[in-house]
Amino acid sequence: MPTFDPEKRPYSLYRNTIGFANRSVEFLRLRKVASIPMTEASGFRLSNRIRIFVQSHIRRCLAFVDGGLAEYDAGRPIVTDQCSRAIYENVAALNDFFEKLTPLVLAYDHKQIDDLLQQAAFGTRVTSWLTDANARKSVNILTQINKFVKEMPLRGEAYERLCDIVHPNGLGAMVYFVKIEDDVSTIHDAGIDPEKAYANLVLACALLLYVEQGIQRLDLLLPALTQSYSG
């Protein structure tokens, strides 16, 4: 059963968009594995460490997909919009990681791959933790978002609207919950337009196609990286 009903198309969602969303979510579900050994038979660890990192982000993506749908069904679409924004950020972060990783893998640059992986896997923005000499500072998510939306400004506009909803601004409070007609304000528990949140989630999940493509690229690259290990 697909995650999103192909016949449910608020805001005139394209069938292809719903199809991309369903395909990418299903791809991530099928790629889940329960465990991965840290070390391959050859003694090489780097390829499996990358695979483990990706598995953690598969869980993160799916948690926001499933959580967003559950909150929509529970009548809390504003939380669905929070999940949609998180998916945008996760896609942007992973896309940035895949783009940086690819040339390093092709060059068999084990040291730079390790550095990139350490930073992506364990980076933080918590100031007090960054006093540790071994701490890695994570890339600002807005840097990754701006890079991701550079060639498609509409993505950036959609992300900005989701941010305005998530923050306690006009769009996320008064505009979201209050409808004024004939000098009477009606306040809606589920917001005045929950179907918009559903459409936002579908659009966010369609972007998971970039995660799918990144993982497929790794499937081709990581075996050669393992073979480059001399022991």
pLDDT of residue 68: 98
- Averaged pLDDT, 21-50: 96
CA distances from 42 to 7, 45, 218, 223 (A): 50, 9, 19, 12
pLDDT of residue 231: 57
Domain extents in the chain: 14-141+193-227
CA distance 31 to 186: 45
Q: Across the chain, where does the E strand assignment appear?
A: 178-181, 184-187
pLDDT of residue 199: 98
What are the tens digits of pLDDT across the range 157-209? Answer: 999 999 999 999 999 999 999 999 999 999 999 999 999 999 999 999 999 99
pLDDT of residue 188: 96
Nearest CA to 52 out of 31, 35, 27 is that of: 35
Nearest CA to 171 out of 203, 152, 197 is that of: 197
CA distance 35 to 200: 33
What are the tens digits of pLDDT across the range 100-154? Answer: 999 999 999 999 999 999 999 999 988 888 887 777 888 999 999 999 999 788 8
CA distances from 54 to 136, 156, 209 (A): 19, 25, 15
CA distances from 53 to 15, 49, 88, 120, 168 (A): 32, 6, 18, 9, 33
pLDDT of residue 61: 98
Residues present in the chain in total: 231
Query: Contact at 8 Å (CB) between 62 and 25?
Result: yes
What are the tens digits of pLDDT across the range 48-90? Answer: 999 999 999 999 999 999 999 999 999 999 999 999 999 999 9
Residue 184 has phi, psi (to 5 degrees) of -125, 130
Q: Across 111-197, where does the E strand assignment appear?
A: 178-181, 184-187
